[in-house]
């Protein structure tokens, strides 16, 4: 992880973008008043987004399993489901 001030990034943007994409570096751009930003590759961004979606999905599964274990479910036979579909 690199920390670089805003002026340096502005002067050498291509260099730091190449470091991010070619070397999987993360660059923190330091700015006044702690308004820092982070530069990561699109690949890394997509991986982070996928991980976040996976966590949400796993949380939903946990909630569903809790519903089942606490009896908050409705059980239907296949015949009942088919009859509902025909309605």
The pLDDT tens digits for 22-71 are 999 999 999 999 999 999 999 999 999 999 999 999 999 999 999 999 99
What CATH number is given for 1-40 in this structure?
3.40.1620.10
25 vs 4: CA distance, rounded Å? 12
- pLDDT tens-digit profile of 11-31? 999 999 999 999 999 999 999
Find out whether 63 and 37 touch, Cβ atoms under 8 Å: no
Q: What is the DSSP letter of 74?
A: -
User: Model's pTM, two decimal places?
Assistant: 0.67
């Amino acid at each position: 992880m690199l920390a670089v001030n805003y002026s340096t990034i502005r002067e050498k943007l291509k260099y730091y973008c190449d470091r991010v994409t070619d070397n999987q570096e993360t660059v923190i751009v330091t700015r006044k008043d702690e308004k820092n930003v982070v530069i990561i590759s699109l690949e890394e961004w997509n991986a982070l987004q996928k991980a976040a979606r996976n966590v949400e999905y796993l949380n939903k599964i946990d909630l569903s399993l809790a519903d089942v274990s606490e009896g908050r479910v409705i059980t239907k036979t296949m015949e009942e489901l088919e009859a509902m579909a025909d309605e």
